[in-house]
Amino acid sequence: MPPRTRSAWLKTLGQLAMVLLAAAAIGMALGHPWQVVTCAALGVVAWHYWRLRRVLLRLTARQRLTPPLGDGVWNELDRLLYRGQSEMRSRKRRLIEMLRAYRAAAAALPDAIVVVDRLSQRVLWFNAACKPLLGMQYPEDMGAPLVQRLQPLPLAHWLAAGRHAETLEVPSPVNSSVTLSLRLIPYSENLWLLVARDVSRMLHLEQMRRDFVANVSHELRTPLTVVHGYLDMLDPEEHPDWAPMLAEMQRQSQRMTQLVEDLLTLSRLESQGSLPEEENIAMGAMLTTLAREANALSQGKHEVTVDDSSEGLDLWGGHKELHSAFSNLVSNAIRYTPAGGSVHIRFRREGSGAVLEVSDTGYGIPPNHLPRLTERFYRVSTSRSRESGGTGLGLAICKHVLNLHQARLQVTSEVGRGSTFSCHFGAERVRPREAIEVLP
């Protein structure tokens, strides 16, 4: 017990003893000591009941307590209650201020934020940005069913799928020239936060970047063809002194042409959200073409083998795109494998899908480079890539093509032993092989 409370307690006991002693003295003087002491004891009990009732009344009335004056247990109890009430009030004030600050911050955010009840999918709260971005009105839309309220947006399927990590890009229901990126964040057991962000500017900049790269590449194509043409016309035998320079100029102009072609392919792949044309891809013929290309590039310096263990499967997708992706892998395998090494191209079943694998016994790739390999112009060794005539875009192209086919690229590699690049296709991209396959 704290000292202050203990002294109040002792004081009250002392007062009780004094009252009883005084009553006994008066009682003895009157000749009825027990009766007077009993009356005094009853008086003390009644007074304590009265004080108890007063405390109960003050508590039930939820009144604001006043700081007590005086001492004794009842005043100490009043003091403790007053202190508890004051602490609770200041905590409540602080919490309300914090809540107001949070609400003000959420209301001031440029993104539209809607708090949604998970079970009923009804709107519980939304901020000011919901009006210009989602067309929501206060107070009419409070408690409205979210899917119905944002009607033209395809939310029902998205909410039902419950894939919260995925964003949904849709035109704003208020202004179709504004693109919104919607995200659903579950933030408690029963509540969702729907965040809608205006990404039109970002998309516009992205489009500008793509157009810029595509236009520059396109513009470079003609002058490069002209330079290339004139270089071809210069006969090194007529100008023996220039022969090394001419050879270098030809090599560099060829590299630039390849770079421009790869940039154009990449920007075409980026701008198309889906494949322009899908068809059955005869994998027997595809493997033969890849092997022929590998042999042409290797010029007999590598052993090239092909294995079709798919048990009669073909792929379904873009022929040109897939050929470009696979031949990039084959060309890398030849270019990053020293003479005398081998390259193995294999097409096999994997569950209900299929895998195309290109393995080599080349230089291999250190593990820290693997996660970044498909970035544009990312090279493990810049000098080796330049020497081998690489543009730094081959794997970026391959990844984009595979994305368009909902497929994924897997790379395993060991430095000094070689690498395996595998393209994994799902069941929807696999077809039984057609009976008659036209070989090239």
**Interface contacts to ligand ADP, rule CB under 6 A:** 328, 332-333, 336, 360, 362-363, 365, 373, 378-381, 385, 390-396, 419
Report, in Å, the least distance between residue 257 CB and ligand ADP: 14
CA distance 329 to 426: 20
Report, in Å, the least distance between residue 358 CB and ligand ADP: 7
In a 13 Å sphere around the CA of 365, the CA atoms on its Cβ side amount to 25
Report, in Å, the least distance between residue 342 CB and ligand ADP: 12
Report, in Å, the least distance between residue 403 CB and ligand ADP: 15
Nearer to ligand ADP (CB atom), residue 334 or residue 404 = 334
Report, in Å, the least distance between residue 232 CB and ligand ADP: 24
CA distance 146 to 156: 9
CA distance 211 to 17: 99
Report, in Å, the least distance between residue 204 CB and ligand ADP: 28
Rounded to whole angstroms, what are the CA distances from 146 to 124, 184, 198, 279, 400?
10, 12, 19, 41, 35
Nearer to ligand ADP (CB atom), residue 133 or residue 373 = 373
Which H/E stretch holds residue 289? helix 283-298
Nearer to ligand ADP (CB atom), residue 347 or residue 363 = 363
- DSSP H helical segments within 336-393, as ranges? 382-387
375 SS3 class = coil
Report, in Å, the least distance between residue 293 CB and ligand ADP: 15
Report, in Å, the least distance between residue 412 CB and ligand ADP: 11
**Which phi and psi (to 5°) does residue 318 adopt?**
-85, 120
Neighbours of 106 (CB within 10 A): 17
Q: Which pairs from 289-296 meet CB under 8 Å and 24+ separation?
A: 289/323, 289/327, 289/440, 290/326, 290/327, 290/330, 290/345, 291/345, 293/327, 293/330, 293/331, 294/330, 294/331, 294/333, 294/334, 294/343, 294/345
24 SS3 class = helix
CA distance 368 to 365: 8
Nearer to ligand ADP (CB atom), residue 5 or residue 295 = 295
Nearer to ligand ADP (CB atom), residue 37 or residue 395 = 395
Nearer to ligand ADP (CB atom), residue 51 or residue 369 = 369
Nearer to ligand ADP (CB atom), residue 313 or residue 396 = 396
Q: In the structure encoding, which two tokens stand for residue 106, read together?
A: 């959420």
Nearer to ligand ADP (CB atom), residue 79 or residue 302 = 302
